[in-house]
């Protein structure tokens, strides 16, 4: 018998593939995630499903929220959280008075407002807080809130600097307060389905993670509007600076803080972190061990000191939940093609493209036949023998092959989206009904992986990371 690569590939069956085949043989009902087994080649679309537990709420179930950082993300977080029954916003904090006025417009004149987060944390009627401040304030306020007896929903990235993470982790453990990190896509229906598919071996062995999220607008590049009434009187700029270097009042730094290393974490901390959160959730990973980054400031030369194009390459080691694989991430803020987004897991037997409300699964058969390119050097009689042997093997193996093709799992009409899912998870965790899906250890591993790209970019070298201990090595 003639030996070739196709035979060795076909005979290799790892644990996840055996599980996948076994479940497929029992029928679609036995395979948690795969009615597609019977009809994937037809390009079938299948509705995903999520049922939310219905509870009767008493006065003891009421959750009063305080919002610290009433900016763009803080408002979206709060709106999402208020969709869960029994939740009320009672207090808001921001360093710009216009945003305090906006809080009252949105949620009523009885909302307590302040420019001092400590006043909000002192209030007995606040059960939990959303921390949606610039990144350099996350650790300080999150720790202070838990010590004040408040549950915390902290926006991503959890920290601006690696060394800040352990204090949040330790404070959560010592106080027992609920702490959810806010990569809002984490709890999505798409992520949940992708996790099931991956565990069932739907794509074989993972070999590559491919992510890009490109933009083509001034708003997408963080060129947020500066209100005409911004002044040293309406903006508490000194408090905003916090531990950052002291500089004169500058409304651009305040309203467009993501553009500066002193207050934000650049593209990796704003966008890579979402990808790492979802990736780590789907495959139960603690993170990469090595990162290399490139990029540059190519277009938005508006005074910012972070790149508008960021590219990260990562090494993931073999673990009990995944083989060794590589990850490639890219963000471009000046994409003349109009922008786009991709989150894809590529395996030896298929690939999954994942969004908050869908999963597109493609299963393929490796091209193992021989064409004119490789056969040209053999006599025709030898070519005929090779084809005959190959066709024999294919006949024997064909019965074991799954149907191939593309299946799309879609969220049902009326699905409320990942932001609702994630804040709902937080609220129900406070009530003791759920476990948080993104605790501080998970948050640090996602933020740490993202921040590695900044370290590599500015140091111009590869950076090593211990994802178990969550520290640089």
SS3 letters for the chain? CCCCHHHHHHHCCCHHHHHHHHHHHHCHHHCCCCHHHHCHHHCCEEECCCCCCCCCCCHHHCEEEEEECCCHHHHHHHHHHCCCCCEEEEEEECCEHHHHHHHHHHHCCCCEEECCHHHHHHCCCCCEEEECCCHHHHHHHHHHHHHCCCEEEEECCCCCCHHHHHHHHHHHHHHCCCEEEECHHHHCHHHHHHHHHHHCCCCCCEEEEEEEEECCCCCCCCCCCCCCCCCCCCECHHHHHCCCCCCCCCHHHHHCHHHCCCCCCHHHHHHHHHHHHHHHHHHCCCCCCEEEEEEECCCCCCCCCCCCEEEEEEEECCCCCCCCEEEEEEEECCCCCCCEEEEEEEECCEEEEEECCEEEEEECCCCCCCCHHHHCCCCHHHHHHHHHHHHHHHHHHHCCCCCCEEEEEECCCCCCCHHHHHHHHHHHHHCCCCCCCCCHHHHHHHHHHHHHHHHHHHHCCCEEEECCCCEEC
Residue 397 has what pLDDT? 55
Residue 91 has what pLDDT? 98
Residue 319 CA to residue 98 CA, distance in Å, equals: 50
Residue 368 CA to residue 9 CA, distance in Å, equals: 9
Question: Do residues 284 and 321 lie in contact, with contact meaning Cβ atoms separated by under 8 Å?
Answer: yes
Residue 25 has what pLDDT? 38
> Token pair of 365, please?
């058969």
List the beta bridge partners of residue 201.
none
Neighbours of 83 (CB within 10 A): 14
Reference 261, options 155, 154, 143, 134; nearest CA is: 134
> What φ, ψ does residue 210 adopt, rounded to 5°?
-125, 120
> What φ, ψ does residue 464 adopt, rounded to 5°?
-100, 145
C-alpha distances out from residue 304 to 78, 154, 293, 308, 422, Å: 29, 25, 19, 9, 31
Domains identified in the chain and CATH numbers: 59-184 (3.40.50.720)
Longest dimension (CA), the chain: 90
pLDDT per residue rounded down to tens, the chain (473 residues): 333 443 333 334 444 444 554 444 333 333 344 434 333 445 678 989 877 766 667 777 899 999 999 999 999 999 999 999 999 999 999 999 999 999 999 999 999 999 999 999 999 999 999 999 999 999 999 999 999 999 999 999 999 999 999 999 999 999 999 999 999 889 999 999 999 999 999 999 999 999 999 999 999 999 999 999 999 999 999 999 999 999 999 999 999 999 999 999 999 999 999 999 999 999 999 999 999 999 999 999 999 999 999 999 999 999 999 999 999 999 999 999 999 999 999 999 999 999 999 999 999 877 667 777 888 999 999 999 988 888 776 655 554 454 578 999 999 999 999 999 999 999 999 999 999 999 999 999 999 999 999 999 999 999 999 999 999 99
Question: Do residues 209 and 344 lie in contact, with contact meaning Cβ atoms separated by under 8 Å?
Answer: yes
Residue 368 has what pLDDT? 64
Residue 396 has what pLDDT? 52
Residue 371 has what pLDDT? 77
């Amino acid at each position: 018998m003639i030996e070739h690569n196709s035979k060795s590939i076909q005979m290799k069956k790892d644990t996840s593939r055996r599980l996948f085949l076994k479940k497929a043989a029992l029928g679609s009902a036995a395979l948690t995630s795969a009615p597609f087994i019977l009809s994937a080649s037809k390009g079938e679309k299948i509705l995903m499903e999520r049922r939310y537990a219905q509870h009767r709420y008493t006065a003891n179930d009421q959750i009063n929220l305080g919002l610290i950082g009433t900016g763009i993300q803080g408002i979206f977080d709060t709106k999402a959280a208020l969709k869960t029954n029994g939740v009320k916003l009672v207090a808001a904090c921001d360093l710009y008075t216009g945003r305090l006025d906006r809080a009252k417009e949105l949620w009523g004149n009885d909302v307590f407002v302040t420019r001092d987060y400590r006043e909000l944390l002192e209030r007995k009627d606040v059960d939990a807080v959303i921390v949606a401040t610039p990144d350099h304030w996350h650790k300080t306020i999150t720790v202070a809130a838990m010590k004040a007896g408040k549950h915390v929903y902290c926006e991503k990235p959890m920290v601006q600097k690696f060394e800040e993470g352990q204090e949040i982790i330790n404070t959560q453990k010592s106080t027992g307060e609920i702490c959810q990190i806010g990569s809002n896509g984490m709890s999505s229906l798409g992520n949940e389905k992708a996790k099931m598919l991956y565990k069932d071996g739907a794509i074989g062995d993972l070999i590559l993670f491919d992510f890009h999220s490109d933009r083509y607008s001034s708003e997408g590049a963080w060129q947020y509007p500066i209100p005409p009434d911004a002044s040293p009187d309406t903006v508490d700029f000194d408090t905003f600076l916090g531990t950052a270097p002291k500089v004169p009042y500058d409304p651009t730094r305040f309203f467009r803080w993501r553009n500066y290393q002193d207050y934000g974490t650049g593209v990796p901390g704003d966008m890579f972190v979402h990808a790492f959160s979802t990736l780590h959730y789907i495959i139960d990973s603690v993170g990469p061990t090595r990162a290399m980054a490139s990029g540059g400031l190519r277009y938005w030369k508006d005074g910012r000191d972070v790149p508008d194009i960021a590219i990260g390459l990562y090494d993931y080691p073999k673990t009990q939940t995944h083989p060794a694989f590589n990850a490639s991430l890219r963000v471009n803020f000046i994409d003349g093609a109009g922008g786009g987004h991709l989150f894809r897991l590529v395996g030896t037997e298929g690939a999954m493209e994942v969004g908050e409300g869908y999963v597109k699964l493609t299963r393929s058969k490796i091209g193992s036949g021989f064409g004119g390119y490789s056969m040209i050097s053999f006599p025709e009689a030898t070519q005929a023998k090779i084809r005959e042997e190959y066709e024999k093997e294919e006949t024997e193996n064909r019965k074991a092959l799954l149907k191939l093709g593309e299946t799309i799992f879609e969220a049902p009409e009326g699905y409320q989206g990942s932001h609702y899912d994630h804040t709902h998870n937080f609220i129900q965790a406070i009530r003791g009904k759920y476990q948080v899906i993104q605790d501080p250890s998970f948050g640090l591993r996602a933020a740490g992986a993202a921040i590695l790209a900044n370290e590599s970019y500015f140091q111009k070298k590869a950076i090593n990371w211990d994802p178990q201990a969550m520290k640089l090595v």
